[in-house]
Amino acid sequence: MVLLVGNWKMAPEKAKDALSLAKKVQVLARTHKKNIKMVICVPGVHLSALSKVVKAPLSLGGQGISPSNEIAQTGRESAGMIASYGASYCIVGHSESRARGESDTDVAHATQLLLQKKVTPIVCIGEKERDAHGWYLSSVKSQVEAVIGALPKQLLKKLVFAYEPVWAIGKDALREATAVECREMIIFIRKIIADASDEKVAKAVSILYGGSVDENNGASFIDQGEADGLLPGRLSLDPKRF
């Protein structure tokens, strides 16, 4: 099963445009092969309206939650809120959220709260830049360990990780990763999970690739890159390309 998750980021602006986009994706999801599971992760403000039109085989997801259930957090949403509006997935630790101050500890707490509400966390990890000596590997390792270290072993297989190198994301990206770079990182991430639990768990965890995914490079991350799916951002706002 390939997991195809669209990250709508902070778009569309108008409720009616969000609704019409979701309806188009819904139609496409129905015509797709059975081995592709499609999810759209939308701004929290659109969840309620979209939950009325998004039905299986398409699923709805959020883009982030607060790492605590404390009520005094003006402007934030809880895991329970997005779950009650029909989100069955939620992105956590996206690099754009980390850049606004989301820490590894916040990501670990948010992941725990999502699992408690039976929402599948899509945990984004990825280095800001690559250096010739491979030091960037340690930043990815600590991002993964922060999340898996906070969870009991039996919950690890419920996680989805998305390897998203920061340098490959968005309109200012240097380039997308190569399939070889993707494969190396996916093996590396599985090894970290295996060391913390066992090989069976490491194989069960889904690991996606994200960062300038498009209709030309997408298949290579799955076929040669060994990703279990993709997390396109900008592309997911165009239903046909998605």
Q: So which residues are the catalytic ones?
A: 94, 164
d(CA 134, CA 181): 12
212 binds ligand PGA (CB under 6 A): yes
Residue type, 12: P
Q: Determine, following the binding rule CB under 6 A, whether residue 169 of this chain makes contact with ligand PGA.
A: yes
| 3-class DSSP assignment, residue 60 | strand
Q: Which is nearer to ligand PGA, 26 or 212 (CB)?
A: 212
Cβ-based nearer residue to ligand PGA, 197 or 206 = 206
Q: Which is nearer to ligand PGA, 197 or 212 (CB)?
A: 212
Q: Is 217 in the site for ligand PGA (CB under 6 A)?
A: no
Compute the C-alpha angle 120/123/128, nearest 5°.
165
- Virtual CA dihedral for 218, 2, 242, 62, nearest 10 degrees? -120
Nearer to ligand PGA, 211 or 225 (CB): 211
Does residue number 164 form part of the binding site for ligand PGA (CB under 6 A)?
yes
Q: Site for ligand PGA (CB under 6 A): which residue of 2, 7, 167, 237?
A: 7
Distances (CA, A) of 98 to 24, 102, 146, 153: 31, 4, 14, 25
Question: CB of 234: closest distance to ligand PGA in angstroms?
Answer: 4
With contacts defined by CB under 6 A, name the span among 14-22, 191-199, 204-212, 221-229 that binds ligand PGA.
Answer: 204-212
Residue whose tokens read 């790492």: 67
Instruction: Name residue, tokens 């948010």.
Output: 110
Q: How far is CA 174 from CA 129, 136, 165, 167, 215, in A?
A: 10, 16, 10, 6, 18
Decide if residue 121 touches ligand PGA (CB under 6 A).
no
> Segment near ligand PGA (CB under 6 A), from 135-143, 147-155, 186-194, 207-215?
207-215
Q: Which helix (H) or strand (E) holds 46?
A: helix 44-50
Binding residues for ligand PGA (CB under 6 A): 7, 164, 169-170, 173, 210-213, 231-235
